[in-house]
Amino acid sequence: MKKISVVFFTFLLTLPVFCQDFDKLLLQKTTDCSDISHSSSLYFIRYMGVREIDSTKNLLTYWENKCGMREPVFRAKILLALIAEDCIDSLWTETLFNQIFNYQSRMDMIKSARYYIYDNHKSFYGYVPPGEEFDIFTRKLAAELKTYYNSESIEYALAEFYSDDYEALFLRLQSKTLEDCLLSKKYYEIVNKYKGMPEFQISFFSGIWIPTGDLAKIGLHPELGMQIGWKKKRLNYDFTIALKFIDAPKNYYARRDKGEEWELTNHFFGGYIGFEVGGDLLSRKGHEIQVISGVGYDVFGVLKENREDGLKSSSTSSFNINFGFAYRYYVSNNFFLGLRVKYNIVDYTLNKVIDFTGNPISVHFSIGIVRNAVKDSNLKALRYNRKNAHTKR
């Protein structure tokens, strides 16, 4: 009984000590990236204000090691490199454009005053609250740095991006003045990746069918049709359907079947179905020139049905091998106006319905769209415009 009393008394004496240890353990505040980033952003302002370059470099190394390469850290490194006139090419990592998109998203948030977005995505925004000391300071610093560099340099473009025009950088990277800089080359690596994705395309055309040789006696005929297919890089693949109509201006001889008598007629109504391949010879600033070739089946009616006399209708047909050139002007990234000229090799005498032939020329004016939703959304994010880009599409 005496031993039990001693143990119980000892427990009562040590209980406050245990409670005190748990208070320290459970109530002690841990330092996380929110604290580190907030403090680091303020020290960055302090060091850069007095141009303590070495201290700033050490601070950013510490900040990155603790919290990773987040957008505020990347922005601070860019501005430091511009002040120290260091080479910035070493900063173009694989996450480069993610950092640029992140900054644009931050500026959009500030512009629209939707600060609640930050509360749910603090990690994405680098644990630095938008629109506060760090953002204000870096924009002011970048505006000052613009005055140090030539307006056609990549350094000026970056200073402009982080100061007062966060939407201009991608457009500048598409200009001819920056085509040799590493950042522009990396930009076009990404652009070309998305440009290489296949696109659905559809167009409607109207034009004129111009027969040559002996076939010219049946006259010119209007033509309407459509093309549907896809475009991948510099190649175009299309299925074509077309109708040509209006009776011939002069009568010509035709017959209903081989061996039957010839009849005078001016009837004409035809169609074409085929497959076409085109390759871009030139694609520059919204203008596109293609060489095209195709194969198909061509037919037109020459005699109408005569039920009273028991006479069936008659038509002539031929395989069609064609080639020519096409031109497109892109009014926007997805909408184009076009002109196509093709030479068609045919022989309508094969079924002995008519005894004259010639090779028609087709001239078509078209309107159409080229679209891939995934491709378009990514190129839109990159501010890529095929009309303004100086490089070949």
Query: In the chain, which ranges are E strands?
Result: 199-210, 221-232, 235-244, 252-254, 263-265, 269-284, 287-303, 314-330, 335-345, 361-371
Q: What percent of the chain has pLDDT over 90?
A: 67
Q: Which residues pair with 83 in a beta bridge?
A: none
- Could you name the CATH architecture of 199-371? Beta Barrel (2.40)
Q: What is the pLDDT of residue 24?
A: 52
Q: Which of 181, 200, 183, 201 is nearest to 191 (CA)?
A: 183
Do 262 and 253 contact (CB within 8 A), yes or no?
yes
Residue 44 pLDDT more than 50? Answer: yes
CA distances to 67, 133, 179, 210, 276 from 239, rounded to whole Å, are 55, 59, 37, 21, 6
Q: What is the pLDDT of residue 8?
A: 47
Alpha-carbon distance of 326 to 276, in angstroms, equals 12
pLDDT band at 29 (very low <50, low <70, confident <90, very high): low
Q: What is the pLDDT of residue 385?
A: 75
pLDDT band at 360 (very low <50, low <70, confident <90, very high): very high
Do 385 and 333 contact (CB within 8 A), yes or no?
yes
Entry pTM: 0.69
Q: What is the pLDDT of residue 93?
A: 78
Q: What is the pLDDT of residue 30?
A: 54
Question: Among positive and negative, which fits the CA dihedral 378, 379, 380, 381?
Answer: positive
Quote the mean pLDDT of the chain: 88
Q: What is the pLDDT of residue 5?
A: 52
Residue 28 pLDDT more than 70? Answer: no
Instruction: Give backbone dihedrals phi and psi of 20, rounded to 5 degrees, phi first.
Output: -65, -40
Across residues 64-88, what is the average pLDDT?
91
Segment 260-306, tens digit of pLDDT: 899 999 999 999 999 999 999 998 888 999 999 999 999 999 999 98
Alpha-carbon distance of 258 to 239, in angstroms, equals 32
Task: Enumerate residues 6+ apart whose C-beta is below 8 A from 211.
Answer: 218, 219, 220, 358, 360
* The 3-state secondary structure of 243-310, one letter per residue: EECCCCCCCEEECCCCCCCCEEECCCEEEEEEEEEEEEEEEECCEEEEEEEEEEEEEEEEECCECCCC
Residues listed for the chain: 393
- Ramachandran sector of residue 233 (left: φ over 0; alpha: ψ -120 to 50; beta: rest): left
pLDDT band at 31 (very low <50, low <70, confident <90, very high): low
Residue 140 pLDDT more than 90? Answer: yes
Which residues of the chain does CATH 2.40.160.20 include?
A: 199-371
Residue 202 pLDDT more than 50? Answer: yes
Alpha-carbon distance of 34 to 67, in angstroms, equals 9
CA distances to 98, 102, 146 from 115, rounded to whole Å, are 20, 15, 28
Q: What is the pLDDT of residue 64?
A: 92
β-pairing, 361-371 vs 335-345, is antiparallel
Alpha-carbon distance of 343 to 361, in angstroms, equals 5
Q: What percent of the chain has pLDDT over 70?
A: 90
Q: What is the pLDDT of residue 141?
A: 95
Alpha-carbon distance of 283 to 294, in angstroms, equals 21
